[in-house]
Structure 1
Amino acid sequence: MALKNVNPGDLITAVDWNDLVTELKALDGRVADLEKGGSKSPPRITKVLPEGTVMAGDQIRIFGNNFDFTRGGHSVTFGNSPAVNFANGSSDSLLIVQIPQQVDGATASGAPITMTVANLTGFTTWALTVKSKPEQVGGRFEFGYLNSDPKIPTANNPIDYHFRLASLSNADLAVLISPVLQFSGAPAVIVEVHDSDGQLRVDRTITLHEGEAKIISVKIPAIPNVPNGTNFGLTVTASASGVQPVTIIVPPQTVGQAGEEPDSTITNLTFSNILDGTATFQLPGPADTVDGILSIPGTTAAKVTIALDTTFANIPTGTPHHYVASATVVSGAGWTASRNPVVTPNEYEISAPGAQKFPGFDINAPADDSVPAFIRFTLTHKEAMINNKRSVIFRVQRA
């Protein structure tokens, strides 16, 4: 029964007073029940399941007696961290409880923690080994091709391909760099991975701390002894546990000729998400010569809008630079692709480093489900005359 608030000058009636007396009697009865009820002895633990090491956030079962669960007189703490979630099925002889997500003193390898179970009379303890819950890795990293040194690949000589690797994650990452060299007709060539300090990483793994950016290199110790004009390709994938991998295809390379280099102010151009329509995106396999594969389900004409992700760097603050987004169907009868004018302006004006944009593109799939398309998406730097583009090519197909 809810009691009414009383303001100065209000008349308190007999009904109001009797309601108050009724509430006090009910409260007194509940207190008396607690005082006379419940266990007369401290709780006793006979078994805890699962046995062995447990992890923060796990659910455990505590067997015993005198828990006073039915009267609400129970409590469980793990060190200094109280438990608040008790599952259905708990009773005075069984507590089904979730270990808190954060337990003071718990470590990744497991640490001794005292669990305390108490009732209205007393308490008892039980020794546990508790591991801290692994940190959920979030965010992503940027990975983009910069340039080569020397500019011209020459037979029997080394060449380094430089990449920018930058963390946008909430944790330190161990990034595996997986290069694939396509050199038709040439003997197998060992490709090396070097860290930003020039050190060879035999395991091809780069340590990338939270928020860190570094320049790494993929090195061909010696171009095979092939004639000038021989074409070859290099695809490099960066991957780490808990984040989306990124695959970069270096622009086509020719022995004896300088290759195209991406614009130095565009650090990356990668797939972001599906803005409209139904499609799935997957990274290329080792044998693929594209930057990604987009699958559109169905056999009728369909439209999908995708967004790419790009970040700009090396732009002096206060000096505007301008970029134009475009899409070109390299091959694929009946397919069309174009810049989406709603989410992507005619050009981006970038006046400071660090700006991030998500250019959007419309893809129109024909009803014919047998012909895939190869579509190039490009950002062009208007102020630069050469090496002024960054592009990706996706294979787009009906699923």
Structure 2
Amino acid sequence: MGYLILAVFAGMFLMGFPIVLSILVPSALYIALNGFPIELIGQRMTYALDSFPLVAVPVFIFVGNLMNQAGVTARIFRFADTLVGRVPGGLAQVNIFSSLIFSGMSGAALADVGGLGKIEIKAMAERGFSRAFAGAVTASSAVVGPIFPPSIPLIIYGSVTGVSIVQLLLAGIIPAVVCVLMLMAATAFIAHRRKLPRAERWSRPGEIRDALLPAIPALLTPILLVGGMLLGWFTPTEAASVTVFYVIFISSIVYRELTMAHILYAAYETIKSTAAILIIVSAAALFGWILAIEQIPQSFAATLTSISQDPVMLLMIVNLILLVAGMFLDSTTATLLIIPIIAGPLHAAGVDPVHLGIVAIFNLMLGLVTPPMGLSLFLITDIAQVSMRAILKAMMPFYIPLFATLLLLTLVPELSLFLPKMIR
């Protein structure tokens, strides 16, 4: 029966049904055929949302929307431009560096694309970059957001697996920096080959100071978050609320650009995004409960461990599974459906759960920039006003550093585990 449910799910998904229906219809069918009370559907879905860590998800989405409304993104971009605009690649490097800074506040790739993307692509086009190349840089650098704290996907992963969210957030810092450095190196190489424009000179100390001062309140956000959690001032969920108050404070008191209309619009956008995410969370929890009853995870674990007992080999196999899944499923759905199945056998084989979390989430984030379901690609084509074919062609050189980063994170666990081990 379990494999029949999986077949119905796959068939509905391939026929183009919304992912929520593809999950709920076979789940409801299973419950009806097995004589369970229909109320069980609502009970299991509601129980899945009764999770304190999940509260952080809508709150961090609200943070990203607030920043987009309050002009914080423009100040981040100006500071990054002043600091690295002279590096080969110019504004392309600024684009990547800005994504690292912005991710320390939003925790989501699509927030990065939507928030910084319009500013970055417009500025790059005015400096002589093609809009397709600007879009490719923006989409590639946005992959960093979901692994740098605060990370919404890592929070969801932690709530599903029971792994410490604080350790997961700390584990994402070095991998995010590694990914940024790889992207910047690739961009510098492309810039040298194509003779891309860059700033005419390095910024003077006074210019850097003038750009830094307005950006300092925004730059302090990740320090406040990570420092507060390490010192025990608040949990990751409480950190989300602290961040909201901090962003409202700096946007209304320091920058004086946030209005009630901005707050209401940010709240409205947050409600829409949160509804889309949490309905998938609740539906996937029901589906996962059914698979657990049918012992699908145990069957998969036996199959996986029969192939190999080597942790590295198992991670490589899981990487292939997640890469394929990420091409068709959004990261939240893939995390909720696949991670509970693969986590057990990999932990038993000796893979650290924190290391697995970073590898899995970074892998699934690559799905945002790979066809056919790459959400970042669709958003970028709209913002940049170019065709999908043009974006994919411009993306080709950037797949190399992204997949090289994934390989490096897989083979060198210490990149993910160095900081978490300091607090264990």
TM value normalised by structure 1: 0.20
Flag the structure with higher helix content: 2
Greater radius of gyration (CA): 1
Q: Flag the structure with more relative contact order, 1 or 2, with Cα contacts below 8 A and sequence separation at least 6.
A: 2
Flag the structure with higher strand content: 1
